[in-house]
Amino acid sequence: MAGISTHAVEYHGKINGEAVFVIDVPIIRKGVGYDFYWYGLPGYEKEDIARLKAVLATFTFTR
């Protein structure tokens, strides 16, 4: 992602009582930490991972 190596964490949880699939992508760049979250519905994990990878492949820092 944007030339930065990172590892995502995937888990299932609940938001407002509704089941969700969460992907958490921590990013450290130039000593500053960021956290990118993706939320999806359970049962679509493979599709969500593919969509998130497509988004992150085009992500760039502008500053």
pLDDT in tens, 7-36: 899 999 999 999 999 999 998 888 888 899
End-to-end alpha-carbon separation of the chain, Å? 15
Distance of CA 43 to the CA centre of its chain: 17
**Mean pLDDT throughout 42-61?**
90
Whole-model pTM over 0.85: no
pLDDT on residue 6: 78
